[in-house]
Amino acid sequence: MSSTLITGGTIVNATGTCTADVLVDGERIAAVFAPGTSLGNHPPVVDRTIDATGKYVIPGGVDAHTHMEMPFGGTNASDTFETGTRAAAWGGTTTIVDFVVQKAGENPLVQYERWQEKAAGKCAIDYGFHQILSDVDDSSLSAMDELVREGVTSFKFFMAYKGVFLSDDGQILRGMQKARDNGALIMMHAENGSVIDVLVQQSVARGDTSPYHHGLTRPWQAEAEATHRAIMLADITGAPLYIVHVSAKQAVEQIAMARDNGRNVFAETCPQYLYLSLEEHLGAPGFEGAKWVCSTPLRSRAEHHQQHMWQGLRTNDLQVVSTDHCPFCMRGQKELGRDDFSKIPNGIGSVEHRMDLLYQGVVLGEISLPRWVEICSTTPARMFGMYGRKGVIQPGADADIVIYDPKGKTRISAETHHMNIDHSAWEGFEVDGHVDTVLSRGRVIVDENSFHGQAGHGEYLKRSLSQYLI
């Protein structure tokens, strides 16, 4: 077991900042203390000292929404647990929560075991699982109890993708009743799938088949309506609700109203909904827009949705930023939909860039420094039952630590990124700030622009119930 002393940095927690040294002993943070103070009678004798003067020392990022190797859209997401968690580490994320997939006819417990096998021995950073449930029947409902005991304490339901993932309102209601009883958190893909399916069929029949029409056939009303319906279903049952990948300002309004009325409704947005748009990205010439086909879709900049996402993060109507990392290459994957946008696999790859992209929010004056840490690390850790070990720099926490240089620069490109994807949704973005050093459970896994981690270092996290609810 080695020890590390991080000296002279500015510690940034969700609660504020201070100048302090951090002593890491083995896998945990042993002490946080004023620089120059001796511990006991002696300065600590350590294996390694890292000078963090002029830099931020933050808890490692927690990305609570990723899809490594996800079978979707007739193919599989192009990052494996190995490549995706390595890329996450490069970008200062030290924990992911990925999704076990249960499609109609599949046994959720068997699927959970499959996902455990896929991830075992592959991950560079710690990982947990949510479970996607599409079939809701007596056996999948009782599987939810078993999964909670295994540390899968959150379940995602879909109001879209008929015939693949969609559950009807009655099924969702039953899932929520179960969550009310066993303490799990319900995550919701809130889009009105029936309406979208009709609009898509009509668009394709008219010959409007380009990626831009992906956005036009998933209008904000379909998101706002489904968000409202999910909130009402949760209210009938008393279950807590977490809306994933929010992109429409009208959906944020629904969430804000529910929260003002005292409901346990939470939500995340993603970097793509803060920076990218229907017009510039989905509307790029030719088939280029396929790079940005994801659901919910990118929204119109003319309608100011992006501004409202930042506002929601400031007002705490949105509490978390996750990536919804679900990468597909252009070659052989996105191009499945060259003649029909509805066949383009849905998803964007960002797991490597979330910390940098959100730090840009600090630079732009959209969020404060502690809020950056709160939405990227502390709240996802609390929301999904990992806080204390993850999401905070304090004695006893896992030594998942990022040393972040605010004077550094990060240029994003497919030429230099570490995700297994042949393009970047963020090509050419140049952001202030740079991930210098990353520790995962006390081990330095990224330093001086080199990767020192190892597949299999990452451990499965048996999560507790959401610490927002207990």
Binding site for Zn ion (CB under 5 A): 189, 324
* Distance separating alpha carbons of residues 466 and 470, to the nearest angstrom: 7
**Site for ligand URP contains 130 (CB under 6 A):** no
347's contact among ligand URP, Zn ion, none, with CB below 5 to 8 A by partner kind, is ligand URP
Token pair of 257 as six digits: 């109203």
Q: How many residues bind ligand URP (CB under 6 A)?
A: 9
Instruction: Report the residue number, 52 or 77, with the smaller CB distance to Zn ion.
Output: 77
Q: Which residue in 245, 259, 390, 443 binds ligand URP (CB under 6 A)?
A: 245
Pinpoint the alpha helices (H) of 354-423: 354-363, 369-373, 379-383
259's contact among Zn ion, ligand URP, none, with CB below 5 to 8 A by partner kind, is none
Q: Read off the DSSP letter of residue 433.
A: E
Token pair of 411 as six digits: 């240029």
Segment (H or E) for 47: none
For 120-134, b/e burial (b = at least 16 CB within 10 A) is eebbbbbbbbbbbbb
Token pair of 288 as six digits: 């280029």
Least separation, in Å, of the C-beta of 430 and ligand URP?
26
* Distance separating alpha carbons of residues 322 and 311, to the nearest angstrom: 16
**Site for ligand URP contains 347 (CB under 6 A):** yes
Q: Which string of x and - marks every residue 325-344 that binds ligand URP (by CB under 6 A)?
A: -x------------------
Nearest residue to ligand URP, by Cβ distance, number only: 346
Least separation, in Å, of the C-beta of 245 and Zn ion?
6
* Distance separating alpha carbons of residues 20 and 34, to the nearest angstrom: 5
237's contact among ligand URP, Zn ion, none, with CB below 5 to 8 A by partner kind, is none
* Cβ partners under 8 Å of residue 289, min gap 6: 210, 211, 212, 214, 281, 282, 283
**Site for ligand URP contains 324 (CB under 6 A):** yes
**Site for ligand URP contains 191 (CB under 6 A):** no
Q: Which string of x and - marks every residue 274-313 that binds ligand URP (by CB under 6 A)?
A: --------------------xx------------------
240 contacts 232 by C-beta, under 8 angstroms = no
Least separation, in Å, of the C-beta of 374 and Zn ion?
22
Least separation, in Å, of the C-beta of 254 and ligand URP?
19
Residue type, 361: G
Instruction: Report the residue number, 50 or 344, with the smaller CB distance to ligand URP.
Output: 344
Compute CA distances 115 → 73, 91, 135, 142, 462, whole Å: 19, 24, 18, 19, 14
List of residues contacting ligand URP (CB under 6 A)? 67, 189, 245, 294-295, 324, 326, 346-347
